[in-house]
Amino acid sequence: MLGRIVNRGTSDVWTATGHGDADDRLVDAARLGDPDAFAVIYQRYKLDVWHLAWFSLRDHHDAEDAVQETFLKAQRALGQYRRNETLRPWLLTICRNACRDRLRVAQRHDDVAFDEELAVVAGAAPDREGSMDFHRALSALPDEDREAFLLVDVLGCRSEEAAQIAGVRAASTLRSRLGRARRALAPAVAETPAPQVGAEVWGVFHSARQSALVLSEEAIRRGRHPADALLVRLHESGAGAADPAAGSDLVSFLERLDRRIPGERTVLAVVDERPAGAAPWLAGHPRWRMQRAPTHASWVGEVDAVLARCLPCTAAEREALRALLCADEDFVWTGEA
């Protein structure tokens, strides 16, 4: 074995005698059959690949399939990777090609709801009228200009990386396309307020065996927060606010939320020290990350801190929730009616 994985909370660090954790060294180790090295490559770049697949295909399940296809192809093609390349754009190029193949087969059409999500990410107005303006402007762009905008302004690639991914010989050509896209989209995003930033709380799971808090730390839409309903239920029902599905297992709870949370969100699950059964699911999902609290008491404190940060909780509301999560009674909340 050439190396080993050391868990560092939400990320993995590959260590080996005589080796650093640079991408080229990881690739060399993976070529020689070290599964840990390729696991670190996957953990390091799975979110980048997921975002490109999601924004390209506009479908949750197709995006997951494209991510899986990307890493399977990458693992088989490690022998073709050249050390003068950069691993991130190499992987994104494989993903782009996989998505283009799927789009050719499916012959998908533009989807208004998707472009509303993209408008929020790009900074366009979150209201319906502003999103429609952005949708029309985005749809009117030539494919190559839209791709340049997606790679640089949405996914955050450097122009040189974006050019490599798009198969463009010169980065200046990519920058020219990006400039045209920005000028065309400028009227749709001009003079719009900055989006709110904070935690979106999507679910809380607590049982005698395991506990989890699910959230995303990203730009959120203005208006009602998903966790507002949790406080309403505490007001109305007190300790009786438990979800009827409280007896479900943690993986089922995570899968249930995965179907509800918008596909472009990156999701964090904060778990206590007990739920070992959910770890493989969280580690293998392209857009989910896991953060462990060392004890159940510290997990309850993390839930309390997150809600205090993202919601105007009163002391009584926070105390009511802490009492629910410290008790032996099962409690599951997913924000659904």
Query: Which residues are 8's β-sheet partners?
Result: 11
Q: Looking at the structure, do residues 257 and 185 belong to the same domain, yes or no?
A: no
Q: Looking at the structure, do residues 235 and 321 belong to the same domain, yes or no?
A: yes
Q: Looking at the structure, do residues 167 and 201 belong to the same domain, yes or no?
A: no
The one-character DSSP state at 332 is: E
The residue written with tokens 């590959």 in the block is 14
Q: Which of 139, 174, 189 is the last residue of a domain?
A: 189
Q: Looking at the structure, do residues 207 and 319 belong to the same domain, yes or no?
A: yes
Q: Looking at the structure, do residues 151 and 204 belong to the same domain, yes or no?
A: no
Q: Looking at the structure, do residues 139 and 246 belong to the same domain, yes or no?
A: no
The residue written with tokens 């994985």 in the block is 5
Q: What is the dihedral of CA 13, 15, 20, 23, to 10 degrees?
A: -50
- What pLDDT sits at residue 291? 84
User: Which helix (H) or strand (E) segment is 271 a member of?
Assistant: strand 267-271
User: In the structure, what pLDDT confidence band is assigned to residue 18 with cuts at 50, 70 and 90?
Assistant: very low
- CATH code: domain of residue 17: 1.10.1740.10
pTM listed for this prediction: 0.58
| Structural domain that includes position 32 | 4-106
- What pLDDT sits at residue 281? 85
1, with CB counted inside 10 A (0-12, 13-18, 19+), is exposed
d(CA 93, CA 78): 14
SS3 letters across 82-135: CCCCCHHHHHHHHHHHHHHHHHHHHCCCCCHHHHHHHHHHHCCCCCHHHHHHHH
Q: Looking at the structure, do residues 220 and 154 belong to the same domain, yes or no?
A: no
Q: Which residue has the higher pLDDT, 276 or 206?
A: 206
Residue 93 has pLDDT above 90, yes or no: yes
d(CA 158, CA 155): 9
Q: Which residue has the higher pLDDT, 5 or 170?
A: 170
Q: Which of 56, 91, 106 is the last residue of a domain?
A: 106
Q: Looking at the structure, do residues 276 and 305 belong to the same domain, yes or no?
A: yes
For strand 288-292 and strand 267-271, is the pairing parallel, antiparallel, or unpaired? Answer: parallel
User: In the structure, what pLDDT confidence band is assigned to residue 199 with cuts at 50, 70 and 90?
Assistant: low
User: 259-301 pLDDT, tens per residue?
Assistant: 888 887 888 888 887 766 788 888 888 888 888 888 888 888 8
d(CA 14, CA 27): 12
Count of domains forming the chain: 3
- CATH code: domain of residue 128: 1.10.10.10
Q: Looking at the structure, do residues 205 and 273 belong to the same domain, yes or no?
A: yes
Closest alpha carbon to 137 in 189, 176, 191:
189
Q: Looking at the structure, do residues 100 and 30 belong to the same domain, yes or no?
A: yes
User: 122-157 pLDDT, tens per residue?
Assistant: 544 444 455 567 777 877 888 899 889 989 888 888
Compute CA distances 223 → 196, 260, 322, 323, whole Å: 10, 18, 26, 28
Q: Which of 70, 86, 106 is the last residue of a domain?
A: 106
Q: Looking at the structure, do residues 180 and 60 belong to the same domain, yes or no?
A: no
Residue 251 · residue 206 · CB < 8 Å? no
DSSP letter string, 186-233: HHHHTT-PPPEEEEEEEEEEE-SS-EEEEEEEEEE-SS--TTHHHHHH
Average pLDDT over residues 57-76: 91
User: Which helix (H) or strand (E) segment is 291 a member of?
Assistant: strand 288-292
